[in-house]
Structure formats: structure tokens, C-alpha cells
A and B are shown apart, each in its own frame.
Chain A
């Protein structure tokens, strides 16, 4: 796989490291405020930023996930001056723990009702976490975005087909990966943020504006 060599021209090392710190700040703030809504303590990993080409992004994503499928994948797109996708990956079995975390768990449910609650929990947690993290990110950079409804694939081995339309085979993708852990609940997951080449331009400007305040 090609980690773009000439990507530096588009997005310098310097800009990557600013973005990394901006992500760190916005995700940190997001989970702190999230704790007011859902009673959780979340441990976040250091966000890692890479640039990949559109045609490589699916493979890149799969390589960065250190659990084997099937897993639960929640996919959501956002648009505004910043356009992109968020993928959240929860391991298989997490749906039960998330249902319990939201206080929706019930003993001896019939399987249909149980699956309905688990789907609901994954969609809701995914939507709130995406909203919090992306919302804070654009907030730190002084902007708003709009979201599409989350799409859930339960216990699957997702192909991440849809974002290719947004991204385009030939373009450059910024891919940000953060691992998160819901501390008391033993739930690990991955958070990926993918933005397209057009967003790169806006990103660069916003990041420089961010740095100018210091």
C-alpha cells in the first residue's frame, strides 16, 4: 500500500501534527461533556493522522483495526465546509454491554425485542459519540456541520463501499484513528474520521487560524 509520498505538498508534517493536537483537544472536550449525558469514563488513545489515497483507504482502514471481523460498524457522514465520514467499530458482544450502559438491558427478552434494543443502543451511542467528537472538532475550528443518520452493520465484515463516492479513487484522504475505552464497562472501540480532498483546503486554513491565536 502506498502511504502517499508527495502528500507533504498537500498537507505538511507540521499540519498533520497540528491536526493531531486539535483532534486530541476536541475529542478530550467531547468525552468530558459526554460524561454529563451518559455516565461513562472514557480513555482515549493518541489520535493518529495519516494521508492515504482514495483507492487504498479501505485496505488502510482494515489494517488499522486490530480485531477480527465480524464486528459492529456504525457509519455516518457529515457535511458543511468539512465533509467526511465517521466509522465506529465496536467488537462483537459490545452491543449487550452498550445496551446495559444505557440502562436498557432487560432479562429474558424475546430475541427480536433484544436485537431491537441492541441495534438502538449501537445507533444511539454511535450517533452521540460522532456528534460529540465531530461537533467539538468543528467547534474548536469555529464551524458547524450537518449529519446524516447513522447506518449500522451488526456482526458484519464491512467493506466501506459508500464513502468511495464521496472520496473518489484518485483523491487524497485524511484518515484519523483514535481508540477509545469505556472504562468501567470493558468496551473498546475504534473511531475513524475520514475527510475528502476538498476538505483538505478548508482544514489547512482552519488549522493555521487555530495556531494564530497563540
Chain B
């Protein structure tokens, strides 16, 4: 069911860390983008089941990209992966409609849990 994952982060190292943390049994197609604008384009074309989105990025930051993605698809599952963990920031992305927020650096456990939640949510959406 989870077939396509989009990862948007300006840091190739961050993308690599995230991929290492993803459950190894996952059999998905990946797409990567290095800023919000590129991420939005990929989001439209690739139609991912799940998106991991960084906040601090050049060109278009994660806040704006998140808003735009949800305008395209208001049911999109977007997990914010960011080092900006100020309470006001967390509150803002959640109220913008992010599915979850994971703090950087991620770990296998937090990413596994996030993926599980996303899969459960996808099932729930399909049933209803």
C-alpha cells in the first residue's frame, strides 16, 4: 500500500540519515528534492503516498511547501523532519496540517513509528 515516498531536504546527509532509519523491509520507490519548490513540483508529478519534509531550506522553506502540498491534496500525508523544534514552530506546522513531526536527528525507532502511523492512517482513509 505504501509504494511511493518523497523526501525533501536541502541536506544530502539528512536524506541519507533518514533513508538509513527507514524500515529495511519497506519496498518503495523514492524521489528526492533539495528545496521546497522542487519538492512541490515532485509532489505534483510523483503523487507520493508519504512525504518527509524538512523546514529550513533555501528557495522555498518547508512551511510554504507544506501549505502548497496540502492545497494540491488536502489528504496528503506529510511528516515534517526538522531540527527547528521550537514549540511555536511545532504548533504551527501541526495547525497547517502536517501529519506528524519528527525531530532531527531521526532514529530508527522514531521513523519506524512514524511510518507505522502513516500506514494505519492510509488504511483508515481507504476504508472510509
Contacts and interface: CB of A to CB of B under 8 A. Distances in A.
Q: Within 8 Å by CB, do A and B touch in the complex?
A: yes
Interface of A: 17-18, 20-21, 24-29, 31-32, 35, 41-42, 44-46, 211, 214
18 contacts: A21-B11, A21-B17, A24-B11, A25-B83, A25-B105, A26-B83, A28-B83, A28-B104, A32-B84, A32-B85, A32-B86, A44-B56, A46-B10, A46-B57, A211-B13, A211-B17, A214-B21, A214-B105
A28 B100 CA distance: 18
Given A35-B87, A41-B88, A45-B56, A28 B11 contact: no
Interface size class of B (residues with CB under 8 A): 20 to 34
Nearest to B105: A25
A29 B83 contact: yes
A20 B11 contact: yes
Nearest to A24: B83
A42 B88 CA distance: 10
B84 A28 contact: yes
Contact of B13 (A18, A35, A41): A18
B82 interface: yes
A20 B17 CA distance: 13
A98 B24 CA distance: 49
A29 B56 contact: no
Contacts of A45: 56
Given A21-B104, A24-B56, A29-B83, 9 more contacts: A17-B13, A24-B83, A25-B104, A28-B82, A28-B104, A32-B87, A46-B56, A214-B17, A214-B105
B20 interface: yes
A41 B87 CA distance: 9
Contacts of A27: 83
Closest A-B pairs by Cβ, 6 of them = A28-B83, A25-B83, A32-B85, A21-B13, A21-B11, A214-B20
A25 B58 CA distance: 16
A32 B86 CA distance: 4
B10 A35 contact: no
Contacts of A28: 56, 82-85, 104
Interface in B77-94: 82-89
Nearest to A25: B83
B23 interface: no
A27 B105 CA distance: 12
Interface in B49-68: 56-58
